[in-house]
Amino acid sequence: MVAPRWIVLAGSIAALSFSGILVGQTAQDPVPPISESQVQAQEKFAEPDCPYFGPSRERYETDASRRKSGLSPVRRLSATTESVTKMMGFVPGGSRTYNFDQAHAAGSIDSYIFADFQANGITPAPKTRDWEFVRRVTLDLTGRIPSADRVLAFVADSDPNKRAKLIDELIAKPEWVDKWTMYFGDLYLNTDRRGSTALQRFPTGRNAFQSWIKTSLAEGKPYNQMATDLIAAQSTNTYVDGPANYLVGSIVTNGPTQDIMDQMIAGTFDTFMGMEHLNCLLCHDGRGHLDSINLWATKTKRYDAWQLASYMSRTSAARTPVDPSNNNIYYWNLLNNQRNFTTDYTLNTLIGNRPARQSTVPGCKAGMTCYTVPPRYILNGSAPAPSEDYRMSLARSITGDVQFARATVNYMWAYFFGRGIVDPPNTFDPARLDPENPPPDPWTLQPSNPRLLNALAQHFIEGGFDLKKLMKEIVNSDTYQLSSRYPGQWKAEYEPYFARKFVRRLWGEEIVDAVTDATGSKPCTLVSGACSAPGYAATGWTDLGMGRPFYAMQFPDVVNTEGTTNGFLDSFVRGNRDDQPRGGDGSILQALNMMNATLLENKLALTGALASPLLTGIIQTTGASNTDAVNKLFLNILSRYPSSSEMSTALAALPAGNGAARNSAIQDLAWSLFNKVDFIFNY
Amino acid sequence: MTKEQENINRWFKKYGWDHQTFFNRPHATRRHFLELLGTGVTASFLAKNPAKAAEVATAGAVTKGTAENVIFILMAGAPSHTDTFDFKMVNGVTPPTFNPATINGLYFPTGIMPKLANMTGDFAVARNVRAHAVVHSVCQTWVQIGRNPLAALGNIAPNIGSIVSAEKFPQRKPSDIFPTFLALNSNGAVNQGYLSGKYAPFKVTPSTAGIGNTTNATGQTRFENRFKLLNSLDANLRTSAPNGVPMEDYNEFYIDAKQLMYNPVVNQYFGYTTQRSADFGSTSTGNAMLVASQVLKANLGTRFIQITSNDGWDMHSSIYAGGGSIQTRIKIIDDALSALIFDLKANGLFDKTLIVMYGEFGRTTGPVTAQGGRDHGPQQFCFFAGGGVKGGQGIGQSDAQGRDTVDFGWSQKRYVYPEDIEATIYSALGIDWTTVRRDDPLGRGFEYVPKTGAFPFMPVHELWG
């Protein structure tokens, strides 16, 4: 296919701004900013009047056009649309270096997503410029902003594979481990105390769990192995054995042990299978309850869910006081087949947190088969082998189930894209996932792109359940690398197609750490204004002898983590790893914190123990121009150079010379940049 | 049992009882709709949906419109109704110190709520209220959004306070610097849902010092300069949202935050003395009611105040003994709520301010459990005062034990559900509860009070006498 004329044009204009001008610059060098006219010139090729898919686009009927002519729309991703995808030749505006692949490799993320764009007549956003990309991917993968040097080196790099290389570099960093330890700490609800159930792990148990998550990620432990470790954990002491703290988190009071078994399996299916509706089924049949939201659940009985919960029977969890004279502080054990402690899943309850469990067989008594429910895996009917450990069998069934892979890749997708292919990502309906076997009318397939979901799951399995490999596949895709800027008319119904990148408000931890990185001002415990110990005194962490963290992302919890940052982090809705999830909302309190919190103002100090090396470096450099100062601030805080209008606005605010007035103005400019929405959001 | 409730019960029986009110027929949930968009399924799917919001006519309801403000108090954890506002003396179980007496037709435990016992002429109690489910998290959300959190639009539904905020926002004067929707002790409160961030609850934990971070360490002059610089640098991202709407929304938070800064009236009304706090019982719930009273007195734009009473109402054990007993907990409410009513009256605001207080459900009745507590139950009460509500009356009547309603006592001849209480709040404020907004992101139509059930939800206008 011949490239349309405007591709060449885009290339030549981009060449003006990228080649030569920026190559070889470092953070110290003054650099002229990219003018806004250049930016606009790059982007105007993504205007909607541009024939995005090339002149042959109209040959392909969209669902909308079919509907208009009274035809029923084709089911998405039919053989026709897939063959069409391979023929598509489209190039966005954006940068010289990066065009969308002319033909996406069959089976790649982009082959599915771009087929959707084509089939539905959606023009995707242009591809990210390097400046957008380096900040976005660094934040998404490591929770940190890139250093000024790294940004410049990346933009200047002429290697066509530089994005893939950057991704490899980021995933290998210890910061990647920190970020994903926090993510999985959220997913596994690792907190020292769950308020909703009063369940206590105590800081020591939580720390053991945190350390296990961290080590597993650092070692690149396959995710099926991680899941197995958690599901099948046995331990005599949860202060020592991290993974046992996972199921312990499901212990509930005010009910029979079956309530705990139910809670454990409900949590496990939420975490690893993305199926929160199992929780409903543990109280009642799906019919009459889930009829219009989950087809699979509608056909599933409470008894089926009991069979699943039965895998958690024969497990005992008991407390041991650390100090025999004090029953209020204890660790747990989590053991199988303990004499006098463990039981089968029996149908003999009348009270508790869930409705009565009684056999439907008249006159059923203890000792009869009808009285207990044997374990049976709900999605394929398999059962533990004779003498097989129940939970080991469950781990085998779950990790061997493609739904485990689907749920995991979908959780990851939801993180990177702001919404899942199945969304919310824990509402999977197993009866509506197979594009070859669609559900009966009026049901529809549940994933917004079922073939993509299956392909990603398959890749995850074939890749050995390697989380790093999965993330690489996602962030290397053109889909992930679409800009968040959408030059045309955005429509809400484009959302499930991922036709632009959705912005993400940074986590509170990311904001605190970005301010630390940008200003260079490391946290410190201050005693009479002097730094008595570097790092944060994290509650239940450093006082138990662990090393002091330097970044908020290294905190082991999201509740009451550290005195100087708690209020700030809480205002950014970090959740409680119990009944409140982490959120991405904004609030007035966040704005008040961003503008006035001591935490941030301290980092702008020019003198004292917390003086910012960035700011003091700028004010102490004699003879450096204000243009240098502005460039340096933008680069260190926003990971980019200012536009020409931003430059002139900033210069107008900076007095000449090296005086107190200029010093204050430098602080004020830094304050303004930290309060810009392109600092607060990953875009 | 009335014919109406029997019909409803039959319908519930057919489709099950707990938390499925709107699940019984295939209507377009958010997920369905996105699948619809996502998978290109035919338009016939929509046509089959009997409950499509767009087809529901707006009745043009006649509202009461007697209230300007609402204070909504959520007793998180679900208080025992039969030990408090729908009192039942259980011989040999309820301690005699509860000392019940019938005042203004309300059988009231004067021994544990002596202050409110003297104010029964000021409030009304609905004793015919029924929760749809008995799960804390689900039902706490339910009462805040007035609909099933798991059903259509549940996960993008705004807090009732955000709807009020959106309705009352156009009436804001330039001098109105306080948030329209204030949430006290409610950090976990439901937010604005799909509505703009400017209708979000402003979440504050009351403190003697007022609101934190309302001054800048560098002083006001420098702060103003900084803010000006920020706006000139960031205007294009904040107002035209080239990267998506969330960034534009974020700007609203800055505008509102700025108005709260360097403003002496902020701490005058959000802060308080320990003496004033003592008037309200020196508890965090008391402080919240004190701040609510002061903020309404300031009359600077706040119209809806949510207060969460995190006072340990989930009393599964030892309900009558020890530090966590209901006697000690209800004293917090008795002290705070009586002082609030007194304050509102003194400031001439009582008749303009509707107070609504209830839990997410009720508790078991009669004898206590083996642990000496009460477990979850659907029957509950709802407390109403002020805002035009006629005090000194009970709405509906529960049975001798308090397990169920025997006399519904209102026009609909059935239980009062959270959706009815939501409608009551809207009606009191003069907001048409049958309104269907057309600005929801799914284009489905967002009903203020959901209409997709088997029967219409209605305001309890009997409260006005």
pLDDT at A103: 62
Task: Supply φ then ψ for residue B72, to 5 degrees.
Answer: -110, 115
- B52 to chain A, minimum CA–CA distance in Å? 14
Given this model, what pLDDT does residue A74 score? 34
A288, A497, A591 member nearest B253 (Cβ) = A591
Cβ separation B246–A505 shorter than 8 A: yes
In degrees rounded to 5, what are phi and psi of residue B267?
Answer: -75, -25
Q: What tens digit of pLDDT does each residue of B110-123 get?
A: 999 999 999 999 99
**Do A543 and A483 contact (CB within 8 A), yes or no?**
no
Please tell me the distance from the alpha carbon of residue B214 to that of residue B211, in angstroms, as a whole number: 7
Nearest chain B residue (CA) to A582: B188
Kindly state the tokens that stand for B139: 């039902």
Considering only CA atoms, give the Rg of chain A: 28
pLDDT at A93: 27
Name the DSSP class of A74: P
Tokens of A304: 């089926």
Q: How far is A676 from chain B (nearest CA, A)?
A: 6
Cβ-based contacts of B371 with chain A (< 8 Å): 254
ipTM of the complex: 0.82
Q: What is the pLDDT, as a whole number, of residue B5? A: 79
Cβ–Cβ < 8 Å for A247, A315: yes
- Mutation target among A570, A677, A679, A682 for the B interface, most CBs of B within 10 A: A677
Sign of the Cα pseudo-torsion (A351, A356, A362, A367, in order) = negative
Residue of A502, A592, A601 for testing the chain B interface, max B β-carbons within 10 Å? A592
Backbone angles phi, psi at A401, to 5 degrees: -95, 130
**Distance in Å, alpha carbon of A254 to nearest chain B alpha carbon:** 8
Q: What is the pLDDT of residue A194?
A: 83
The two three-digit tokens of residue B437, written as one number: 């907004």
Residue B101, number of CB atoms within 10 A of its CB: 13
Which of A486, A505, A668 shows the shortest C-beta gap to B229?
Answer: A668
| Cα dihedral B228, B230, B231, B233 in deg (nearest 10) | 120
CB–CB of B40 and A449 under 8 A?
Answer: no
Unique residue bearing structure tokens 């679900």: B78
- A651 to chain B, any CB pair closer than 8 A? The answer is no
Instruction: Report yes or no: B17 at the A interface, CB cutoff 8 Å.
Output: no
pLDDT digits (tens, 9 = 90+) for A531-590: 999 999 999 999 898 999 999 999 999 999 999 999 899 889 898 898 777 888 888 889
Q: What residues of chain B, 40 to 59, have a C-beta less than 8 Å from chain A?
A: 40-45, 48-49
**Which parts of chain A register pLDDT below 50?**
1-67, 69, 71-100, 102
Q: pTM of the full predicted structure?
A: 0.77
**Res A180: pLDDT:** 98
Contact B216 A196 (CB under 8 A): no
User: What is the C-alpha radius of gyration for chain B, rounded to an integer number of angstroms?
Assistant: 23
d(CA A662, CA A650): 12
Q: How far is A229 from chain B (nearest CA, A)?
A: 30
Closest CA to B160 of B354, B13, B1: B354
- 3-state DSSP: chain A helix, strand, coil percent, rounded to 5? 45, 5, 45
Residues in chain B, pLDDT under 50: 15-58
* Cβ-Cβ contacts under 8 Å, B244 against chain A: 484, 486, 490, 500, 502-503, 683
Question: Nearest-CA distance from A393 to chain B in Å?
Answer: 31
Q: Which residues 127-166 in chain B show a CB within 8 A of chain A? A: 136-137, 150-151, 155
**Side-chain half-sphere of B225: how many Cα atoms within 13 Å?**
16
Any idea how long chain A is? 683
- Which of A293, A486, A582, A641 is the best residue to mutate to test the B interface, defined by the most B CB atoms within 10 Å of its own CB? A293
Say what the pLDDT of residue A69 is.
46
The type of residue at B76 is A
CA distance B24 to chain A (A): 6
Select the residue from B33, B41, B218 to test the A interface by mutation, using most A Cβ atoms within 10 A. Answer: B41
Query: Which of chain A's residues have a Cβ under 8 Å away from the Cβ of B200?
Result: 585-588
Q: Do A587 and B253 touch (CB under 8 A)?
A: yes
Residues of A in contact with B194 (CB under 8 A): none
**Which residues from chain B sit within 8 angstroms of residue A570, using beta carbons?**
187
Q: Do B244 and A502 touch (CB under 8 A)?
A: yes
A293 has a chain B CB within 8 A of its CB: yes
Burial of A15 (0-12, 13-18, 19+ CB in 10 A): middle
Contacts of A136 in chain B (CB under 8 A): none
Instruction: Give me the residue from A445, A591, A669 closest to B229, CB to CB.
Output: A669
The CA distance from B280 to A203, in Å, is 36
Contact yes or no for A675 and B234 at CB 8 A: yes
pLDDT of amino acid A353: 73
Q: What CA–CA distance (Å, rounded) separates B349 from B353? A: 6
Classify A520 in phi/psi space as left (phi over 0), alpha (psi -120 to 50) or beta. Answer: left
With CA atoms as reference, the chain B residue closest to A62 would be B40
A64 and chain B in contact, CB less than 8 A: no
Cβ atoms within 10 A of the Cβ of B87, count?
25
